[in-house]
Every structure is written in structure tokens, then in C-alpha cells.
Amino acid sequence: MLRLREISSMELTRAHLDRIEQVEGSVRAFVTVTEDEAMREAEHVDQLRREGAKLGPLAGIPIAIKDVLCTKGIVTTCSSRMLEHFKPPFDATVIKKLRAAHAIMLGKTNMDEFAMGSSTENSAFFPTRNPWDLERVPGGSSGGSAAAVAAGEAMASLGSDTGGSVRQPGALTNTVALKPTYGRVSRFGLIAFASSLDQIGPFTRNAQDAALMMQTISGHDPLDSTAMNETVPDYAAALTGDIKGMRIGVPKEYFVEGIEPGVRASVDAAIKQFEALGAEIGECSLPHTKYGIAAYYIIAPAECSANLARYDGVRYGFSARDTSGDIIAAMSETREQGFGAEVKRRIMLGTYALSSGYYDAYYLKAEKVRTLIKQDFDAAFGRFDALICPTTPGVAFKLGAKTADPYTMYLNDVFTIPANLAGICGVSFPGEFSEGLPVGVQLLGPAFGEPTLLRLVDAFQRVTDYHTRMPEVATKRKSAARKRR
């Protein structure tokens, strides 16, 4: 419609800002709405289009950004008091790429503080609500980005996935949520949680849009030493609709007690659909999967304790004013006041795991387990093009239902964490609903296997309509997001 000039970018952007105004008081997906900037960018795109200038692939498309990605001159909070007023002096690489593609940024989305959580209840500001049921969580830590797309507040969004933080909220909100291979997308400008696990990925409503987003954000970056210098394929070209002869493995360790019956039924239905489309289905084993949660909650907190040591009240961010002259006391008070309970919990876990006398017993052993998990995946991908399993054990749970028990909360990521440990790619896509709530089906692929995953999801979506369903969102509460006008 934009290319045919049936609608202008200003009209499309205005429609989304109006939608935000309408439902944001209920959903609370945004920390910051950049209304004036968005309209200026949209006007600029319309002017370029009138002039016949060459436009980027996302020209005029309104997109939301997880508030963990640096945006020049725009508050980037990580949903933490520690960075509540922080304005980065630069854009993250993925933001630069979106700007070069002429995308329109609508604002920054709410999240679990420093990306630590599975429900977006750990935000220092307010919890985000699931558009499908406002009494339930949208997942996390990228819950705001997922909810924004699900509620029609943005056409696509970016999140970050350290242990499932893109795929898990994607599953709970009926969106397509892709975690790229580690190194496929630059992490420069992503505020770090666990540097060997973090990866930036998109939320969209279908595989075609996910391919377009991946085309834009992928690629080598000299500013990120972990960004792989691999040729970026044409993701859209992979969406042929033909999956005859493709091999899909069903890992038996992902189908265990504790999965809700509706989730199991949805995944089983997806397996049958892929088989009907001509894919070959077979069972496989990932025997070290059961150690994934334990290994992750050593490695991720260890890296978090190192990365978050920079928030000391000296250089930038929140600083507790101390007149005693005791620098240690001032730093301690800054961290006590600036960090929330979950962040403090993980810093302490990680510091303990790295401490003298415990490094070999915990961190080194966890890294060895990580290698075993990767070897399991390597063996499986020697036989199969992709693996299929649930994204989460259950549908979205009630707000407050799991906040008192961190371990129960951590188990929401039991099926997503192994992919981060192995550095492979994964995607959650909408399957059959369970009692009126979305269910995510997960496909896992080998390193740089994103085209294969998108091809499978696209084929599935050509014959199903789960991804086209939209929630009816109540419009009661006043928005808590700050606005830049």
C-alpha cells in the first residue's frame, strides 16, 4: 500500500500512534513513546517517496524497540532505576540499520529489568499485560515488544534473547519470534546481560515480515567482535512454500511431564501439519537437555555479575549521593537503590559462582555441560534440517502467580535455554490455541539455519490461520509511558 501510494507513511504512523493512545493504558507495552520523532521520520519518508528517491526495504513501517537497545538522544532505561534517565550518545548497530532501511521508530518497550525475567513483572516501572488476557503476563524479558505487536501497536519490534526472551513472549502473545544464531546480528549497542548468550531478534505477525526484519538487521559489524563475517542470505527467497522432503526431528526430552495438555496438543497438531505438507518426521534425542537450566543459571549470572559491575554510580546512570567520603559505601548504596530484587539475586549467584574456590566447581563445570549440549545439537542436525518442540510448558500465567518462587519462574524457559547455550537459531510461531490463549510451537535450527526455519514457518502459515488472529483489547487504564513531544 505504501509503494502504491494508497496510504502515506504519515497516515500509517499516525494510525499506530492512535492505537497506542487507545490501548496502551491497558497493555502498558511502552516505557517511552517517541511521537514527534516518529511523525518527523514518516514525513521525511513520504517526501523521499514523492521525489522518487531510493528507499529502504522497511520504508515507512512503524516499529517498536526493546528498551535494552541504545538509541541516540532517547532515554534507554533497561526498565531499571539505574538507567532511568540515561540518554545514549550513539545508536546501536541494529538501530542504525533500521534507520538506513527508513523504518519508523514508535518508541521503547517495557521489559524485565536488564532483561532478567520471564514475565515483564521485574520492570522497575510497571508490569506489561498480555493483550489476550489483561490479567496474564506477556512473557519476558521482551514482553513489551511482544505485546506491542500482538496488540496492533506496532507492525514489528525488536527484542533480545538470552535464554528465551524473544521466543517465550512470542509464544504467549501469538507472534512470530525469532532468535538468530549467535553472531548473525551485531550486539553493538545492546546493553549486556550475558555476553556469550545475548542475541537480538524480531517479533512479527508472520514469516514474511520476519524475513524482512532479518534481512535488515543481519550481517557483520566491525564494532562487534562476535559478529560473524558470514554472507547474509536472501531470507525472503527461502519462503517457497515447498517443504517436501525436509527432515524434522522430534527430541524426546522436550516432551516430558509438566507440559500442559493444550500445549502438547498444539505441538502434535503442528507436527501432523508439517507431515501433511511433505516433511519427514523422526524422533531424536538431546540427552543433556535436562542440565540446561542448571548450566544456564551458573553461566548467565556469572556474566551478568561482570557486566553489571560497571553500574557503580561513578561514570553514568543513577548515583546515590553520599557525603561521608567513603567511595565503597557510596557504590554499595547506588547498587542497593538502583537494582531490583531479581537483578541483585543474579549478581549474587554469579559472583558466588566465580569466587575463589568455587570457579572450577560451578562455572567451569557449567561450561563443560554447555559443550555437551552443543554436541547433542550437532549430532541431531546431522540427521535433521530442524527440530520441533514446545516453546513453553504452558500458556500465559496470571500476573503475580510465580513472582514468589524464582525457580518456578525460571522453568518457563526450560525449552528455550538450550538453544542459547549452543548458539543455534530458533523460532516460535503461533499454533493451535488452548482454551482461548495462544500456544507457541518452536523450531530449532543449526547455526545460520534461519532460512530453513522461516521456510517451514511460512509453509505452515500458508495453510493455517492462527497467526492472523488478533486479541480484543480493553481500553480502560491511562497510559504510564512517558511521551516525547
What's the whole-number mean pLDDT along residues 214-225? 98
For residue 256, the model assigns a pLDDT of: 85
Mean pLDDT of the chain: 96
What is the grid cell recorded at 84?
Answer: 532511568
66 annotated active-site: yes
Cα(424)–Cα(101) distance, integer angstroms: 26
Residue 485 clears pLDDT 50, i.e. is over it: no
Report if residue 56 sits inside a domain. yes
pLDDT tens digits, residue range 267-288?
A: 999 999 999 999 999 999 999 9
Query: Is residue 480 very low, low, confident or very high in pLDDT (cuts 50, 70, 90)?
Result: low
Count structural domains, the chain: 1
Among 8, 9, 26, 66, the active-site one is 66
Report if residue 173 sits inside a domain. yes
Helix (H, G, I), strand (E, B) or coil at 187: coil
pLDDT tens digits, residue range 308-341?
A: 999 999 889 999 976 677 888 899 999 999 999 9
Query: Is residue 476 very low, low, confident or very high in pLDDT (cuts 50, 70, 90)?
Result: low
Cα(402)–Cα(216) distance, integer angstroms: 37
Report if residue 435 sits inside a domain. yes
pLDDT tens digits, residue range 125-169?
A: 999 999 999 999 999 999 999 999 999 999 999 999 999 999 999
Report if residue 304 sits inside a domain. no
Q: Which amino acid is at 485?
A: R
pTM value > 0.75: yes
What's the whole-number mean pLDDT along residues 391-405? 96
165 annotated active-site: yes
Query: Is residue 56 very low, low, confident or very high in pLDDT (cuts 50, 70, 90)?
Result: very high
Among 26, 141, 142, 160, the active-site one is 141
Percent of the chain with pLDDT over 70: 97
Q: What's the CATH code of the domain at 211?
A: 3.90.1300.10
Among 80, 165, 218, 305, the active-site one is 165
For residue 326, the model assigns a pLDDT of: 86
Are 268 and 255 in contact, with CB atoms under 8 Å apart? Answer: no
Residue 307 clears pLDDT 50, i.e. is over it: yes
Report if residue 308 sits inside a domain. no
Cα(202)–Cα(157) distance, integer angstroms: 6
What's the whole-number mean pLDDT along residues 90-104? 98
Report if residue 276 sits inside a domain. yes
Are 191 and 78 in contact, with CB atoms under 8 Å apart? Answer: yes
Report if residue 303 sits inside a domain. no
Residue 64 clears pLDDT 70, i.e. is over it: yes
Q: What is the DSSP string of 312-366?
A: SSSSSS------S--HHHHHHHHHHHHS-HHHHHHHHHHHHHHSTTTIIIIIIHH
pLDDT tens digits, residue range 4-44?
A: 999 999 999 999 999 999 999 999 999 999 999 999 999 99
Report if residue 248 sits inside a domain. yes
The residue range of the domain holding 261 is 9-288+371-483
176 contact partners, CB below 8 Å, separation of at least 6: 170, 203, 204, 205, 206, 207, 209, 210, 427, 428, 429, 430, 457, 467
Q: Give the DSSP H/E element, type plus range, for residue 45.
A: helix 35-50
